[in-house]
Amino acid sequence: MNTLDPTTFAPLERAAQDPVAYATEWKERTGGLVIGSFPMNFPSELVHATGALPVIVQESRTTITEGRSLLPEFYCSYTRSLADQAATGELEVFDAFVLVDHCVQLLGAADVIQRVIPDKPLHFTQFISSMDDAWSRGAVEEKVQAMRAEVEESTGVTVTDESLTASIRVFNENRRLLREFFDLRRTGRLHIPASALQVLVKSSMVMDITEHTALLQQLLDRLDTLSSAPEHLVRLHLSGHFCAPPRPELLNLLEECDVVIVNDDLYHGSRYISTDVPKDGDPFAALASWYLDRNVNVPCATRVQLDVDWQSYLVDTLADSGAEGVVTLQAKFCEPLMLYYPELRRTLGERDIPELLIETEHEGLAAESIRTTIETFVERIRRQRSKQLLPA
């Protein structure tokens, strides 16, 4: 296995583990505003262009207490955690919130935040989910301008073409570096724990992006790559898990079962870094393009588009990475994923691609039961491998 330089990795890990502590320290250091956004489609560049710190609000590891009475138990863990964080004062560091997604559960959490901490402005502008109608682009461009006005109101700073173009450049560079790690992993030249790769992406969602980019570059400069992938391990693709990252313990558990994760379409993974914002032309229109392009690059169950779909993308990407099976991680009660999942399963089944669904919860991990399930799944793939090696 490769090792990431521990001194460079440490601040990234700290920020990923405690984004609020990072934002608090940043605020004290710079005197700037901290603006929280919610997954999965808010363009952080818009906030960055005002000089404020854009932070994608993360699921907290804290046990949900106060939040229990604020949202129904059948809401996903991310939204119940948001409600809890609002009620327990964990969101105090944020000066305002911005939201462009409209998952019903997320909107429920946004309502709770508004009710529990009414002094914090929360701006909602809905980016439409129908991606390929004749009017889609124009509608998204309008919404970008509406969100621009909201961000300007919250920060008191005008976002100019120049400032937004500069922010786009900075974020594109960050995504490019993150993609280098993912590309190296896919080709087998980088073998690090999936939880470490998650740290790189999660920290990019919450840290000052320039600081983050410098650390990423340093990690890459000090990285020794492998000459080839470890062949004895079963190669898997991780799919699903919107809005919040799967627990690192779950990723470790997978890897303890003779598995190497070679690719993913997780939000705290490839999905987040898949697409750059076009760097030329009107930068506000470019943010709309980014939103539309992203669903082409890594289709999402929360969007509707006739000419792309998640299952076709998945089949293509497996061919590219050489993954031998798919583990779908589904946050319990994540409705968009639950509705889409049968389609994914059917497509993979038709192609005889092994697939395993693991449901996750905020409250914990049934480690031993999951371990047994994964071991059985890995054994099934190994048998499939052996069959393919037999002479016809």
Give the interface with ligand SF4 as residue ranges (CB under 6 A). 76, 78-79, 103, 105-106, 242-243, 302, 331, 334-336
Round to whole Å and give the CA distance between 211 and 174.
10
Q: How far is CA 385 from the centre of its chain?
A: 31
Which one, of 252, 241, 270, lies nearest residue 361 by Cα?
A: 241
Round to whole Å and give the CA distance between 45 and 50.
9
Residue number with CB closer to ligand SF4 (315 or 338) = 338
| Beta-ladder partners of 36 | 55, 97
Smallest separation (angstroms) from ligand SF4 to the CB of 13: 24
Smallest separation (angstroms) from ligand SF4 to the CB of 74: 10
Round to whole Å and give the CA distance between 208 and 186.
27
Smallest separation (angstroms) from ligand SF4 to the CB of 111: 13
Residue number with CB closer to ligand SF4 (263 or 302) = 302
Which of helix, strand or coil describes residue 34?
strand
Smallest separation (angstroms) from ligand SF4 to the CB of 40: 7
Residue number with CB closer to ligand SF4 (26 or 340) = 340
Q: How many C-beta neighbours within 10 Å does residue 61 have?
A: 10
Round to whole Å and give the CA distance between 328 and 61.
22
Q: How many C-beta neighbours within 10 Å does residue 107 have?
A: 16
Smallest separation (angstroms) from ligand SF4 to the CB of 101: 8
